Amino acid sequence: MTRSTSRRLRSWLSSTLHGEGRDGAHSRREQRKGWTVTIHDLSGFPVAAAAMVTPFVPSPGSWLILQATGAGPSSWKPWARLEAWRERGPVDALGYRLELVFDSGPHECAVPIAESSISTKRGGQFVIDPATFPEAAAGAAWPFAGGFVMGSTVEGEGRASRPTVQVGVQHVTCMGDVAVFVALSAAVDLCMDACKLFSQRLRKELCQDQDE
């Protein structure tokens, strides 16, 4: 893991897992940083999370997807990095790129596994599948054995979203495996709002503090 990623991870763990909230945002621009999603198992133990680790999107590594490998803050390990951006042209869309993150000695190794776009008006599907990823089809290193990995629904802008997540059974060995995919789908869903123009309002459930 790089030093910058380590600092961001420590900062997120300090503010989230120890219950220290951030100061309330004072503008729509500030509402779009510091979002986190934590997935708990049936006993209430946190097993996966997604954290926006850069102040604004788009920027490299906008989201960090984490998986808990044990108890305590030190057990959280980066699982993937999600980048998202707004594409403007004939079709207004949310572009995204997902990379799995591995520690390789003193350096971080990232393997791209998904890259595409979703219509901001109609929404669509976020998918991890070698059949839909050109680099996998070209013979690049593919970290998953056996076909379809996961998919989730994404609503268009301004719509209340309840993502439906599907995971290939061959990629599930424990609760944590499912949890990271759920955290990832939540991050993709939030990107639809995070990548909006700053002149546009966020969904009601994301700007309650501002309304108050």
Q: Domain limits of the chain? A: 3-211
pLDDT by position in tens, the chain (length 212): 444 444 544 554 544 443 333 333 334 444 556 688 999 998 889 999 999 876 554 555 589 999 998 777 678 899 999 999 888 778 789 999 999 988 766 667 888 999 999 999 999 999 999 988 877 766 667 888 878 999 999 998 877 778 999 999 999 988 889 999 999 999 999 888 888 776 677 777 676 554 43
Question: pTM of this prediction?
Answer: 0.78
d(CA 202, CA 163): 18
Parallel, antiparallel or unpaired: strands 36-40 and 46-52 = antiparallel
d(CA 147, CA 205): 36
Q: Which of 149, 139, 90 is nearest to 117 (CA)?
A: 90
> CB of 72 within 8 A of CB of 60?
no
